[in-house]
Amino acid sequence: MGRDETVRRVDRDASHRPDGSLLDWVTSRMVRTENIPVARAISHYGLAVVLVAAALGLTLLLQSVVSTAGFLFFYIAVVVSAWIGGKWPGGLAFILSATAVAYFFTPPVYSFTVDRQSLPLFIEFAASALVVGWFSSWRKHAESELQYVRDELQLRVEERTAELRQTNEQLIAEMAERKRAEEAYYEAQAELARMTRMSAMGALAASISHEVNQPLAAVVTNADACMMWLSSDPPNLGEARAAVESIAQQGTRASDVVRHIRAMFTKGTPERSELQINDLIREVGSLTEGAALRNEVVIQTELGADLPATMGDRVQLQQVIANLILNGIEAMSEVNDRRRLLVIRSEMRNSDEVLVAVRDSGIGIDPKNEKRIFDAFFTTKAQGMGMGLSISHSIIESHGGRLWASGNSDYGATLQFTLPVTLPADRESTS
């Protein structure tokens, strides 16, 4: 692109500015003037003079042969000057040609005046020369503008092509990065699945260890008692027999615990039957009397009368009640300034639920841990595993109930759960 085209672009950009003013226009003209080489301008005007002089010389030489047809050279001089130099050099060529024709070829010869008879011929020449000069200048300008547009279009195409090439390279890089991210995601997903399986196995082992510990401890205690009764003189066979029977019962209970907890973690179908919640509370209460006596805890029951039956797995619900009672007893182990009282309450809630609440007078629950205490492996006990409440929460939810904890207004905390009652329609479908 030449410097003239640059000047035209500056002029066009300045004239199309939305805030264009006279100062902007004058500035653009100054830029144009400063960017046009003086030598180039002189050469354009000098070319016009030379062409007109050449046309005059040729016409004078050939006027005896071709007569006024020699005006053709002046036309050529005007057209070439306007094409190469533009409208101003073309205008200079037109003025010089008209002057030469008037002085040398239009009567009276060698005079700048034109008589009346030759005036139409002179006007015809002047008009024709002016038209062809203007047309040549306009055509040159149009071609220059067209070339400028082509160059501009080519430049934009190249810029756009470069942008598209860069965008394509970025897209390829992003696709490669996305593919690497997907591969990393699948690897992380596989690792997470493996860790989940390991966590589930750990939870299963921890839960079995936690739940089986109670009946095994009872087995050991009854075995010691049996040895004591047999070692007495005379041996107390009745008490020994009762201890052996208790050992058998606790061993069977430990086996049931393992079987039911394993079924729970493997999504096995629980053994549901119709049961009375008060009977479960009494059974578990008798099993935990020893732990309460050792910790100097008084267990008080407030069982609602005539509670409807509920459907559930007896062993799993026994484990829930036992966990809540033992947690309440442990929560009061460090209390020395007040009575260690554990209240177990059952009542009807709404018309379709049975509520069981275990209230202690221990150290209470930190409000920020009220929801976390049901998370697996979360515990505030120094020797705890954090599995008892998590398992209990899962059992209650699988029975269609809800288990939650709340702090008491005075001391300690209350853990309570609900179970849906057995409706007559459910009883009929079960039978």
Dump pLDDT digits (tens) for 131-151: 877 887 788 778 888 888 888
Q: Kindly indicate the confidence band of residue 354, based on its pLDDT and cuts at 50, 70 and 90.
A: very high
Question: Quick check: 106 and 121 in contact, CB under 8 A?
Answer: yes
Work out whether strand 413-420 and strand 402-407 pair parallel, antiparallel, or are unpaired.
Answer: antiparallel
Q: Taking Cα atoms as reference points, which of 224, 280, 217 lies closest to residue 254?
A: 217
Average the pLDDT over 68-72 and give the result.
Answer: 63
Please name the residue that has the structure tokens 């400028």.
Answer: 148
Work out whether strand 341-349 and strand 298-303 pair parallel, antiparallel, or are unpaired.
Answer: parallel
Q: Kindly indicate the confidence band of residue 342, based on its pLDDT and cuts at 50, 70 and 90.
A: very high
How far is the C-alpha of 299 from the C-alpha of 192, rounded, in Å?
Answer: 45
Looking at per-residue pLDDT, the higher value among 293 and 213 belongs to 293
How far is the C-alpha of 394 from the C-alpha of 407, rounded, in Å?
Answer: 21
How far is the C-alpha of 216 from the C-alpha of 219, rounded, in Å?
Answer: 5
Q: Kindly indicate the confidence band of residue 358, based on its pLDDT and cuts at 50, 70 and 90.
A: very high
Looking at per-residue pLDDT, the higher value among 8 and 212 belongs to 212
Q: Taking Cα atoms as reference points, which of 303, 399, 305 lies closest to residue 358?
A: 303
Mean pLDDT of the chain: 77
Q: Which fold has domain 270-430?
A: Heat Shock Protein 90 (3.30.565)
Q: Kindly indicate the confidence band of residue 195, based on its pLDDT and cuts at 50, 70 and 90.
A: low
How far is the C-alpha of 43 from the C-alpha of 74, rounded, in Å?
Answer: 19
Please report, rounded to a whole number, the percentage of residues in the chain having pLDDT higher than 90.
8
How far is the C-alpha of 365 from the C-alpha of 324, rounded, in Å?
Answer: 14
Per-residue pLDDT at 16 exceeds 90: no
Of 293-297, 365-369, 402-406, which range is least confident? 365-369
Looking at per-residue pLDDT, the higher value among 72 and 419 belongs to 419
Average the pLDDT over 174-188 and give the result.
Answer: 86
Per-residue pLDDT at 20 exceeds 60: no
Average the pLDDT over 334-345 and give the result.
Answer: 88
Looking at per-residue pLDDT, the higher value among 172 and 198 belongs to 172
Per-residue pLDDT at 107 exceeds 50: yes
Please name the residue that has the structure tokens 């010691």.
Answer: 224
Q: Kindly indicate the confidence band of residue 10, based on its pLDDT and cuts at 50, 70 and 90.
A: very low
Backbone angles phi, psi at 354, to 5 degrees: -110, 130
Most confident segment among 71-75, 116-120, 255-259, 278-282 = 278-282
Please name the residue that has the structure tokens 């939870």.
Answer: 203
195 Cβ contact list (under 8 Å, min separation 6) = none
Q: Kindly indicate the confidence band of residue 211, based on its pLDDT and cuts at 50, 70 and 90.
A: low
Question: Quick check: 299 and 265 in contact, CB under 8 A?
Answer: no
Q: What is the model's pTM? A: 0.42
147 Cβ contact list (under 8 Å, min separation 6) = 5
For 267, the enclosing helix (H) or strand (E) is none
Question: In the prediction, which pLDDT does 426 show?
Answer: 54
Of 21-25, 258-262, 367-371, which range is least confident? 21-25
Question: In the prediction, which pLDDT does 187 show?
Answer: 81
Report DSSP state, residue 421: B
Per-residue pLDDT at 263 exceeds 90: no
Q: What does the pLDDT look like over 371-385, one tens digit per residue?
A: 667 665 545 554 444
Q: Kindly indicate the confidence band of residue 345, based on its pLDDT and cuts at 50, 70 and 90.
A: very high
Question: In the prediction, which pLDDT does 63 show?
Answer: 74
Question: In the prediction, which pLDDT does 14 show?
Answer: 46
Per-residue pLDDT at 395 exceeds 90: no
Looking at per-residue pLDDT, the higher value among 262 and 3 belongs to 262
| Paired tokens of 89 | 């050099």
Q: Where are the alpha helices (DSSP H) in 67-118?
A: 71-85, 87-100
109 Cβ contact list (under 8 Å, min separation 6) = 103
Strand, helix or coil at 403? strand
Domain boundaries, the chain: 3-165, 203-263, 270-430
Looking at per-residue pLDDT, the higher value among 314 and 422 belongs to 314
Question: In the prediction, which pLDDT does 30 show?
Answer: 45
Per-residue pLDDT at 241 exceeds 80: yes
Question: In the prediction, which pLDDT does 100 show?
Answer: 85
Question: In the prediction, which pLDDT does 363 show?
Answer: 81
How far is the C-alpha of 279 from the C-alpha of 317, rounded, in Å?
Answer: 11
Per-residue pLDDT at 283 exceeds 60: yes
The DSSP bridge partners found for residue 359 are: 343, 414
State the CB neighbour count (10 A cutoff) for residue 326: 18
Question: In the prediction, which pLDDT does 70 show?
Answer: 57
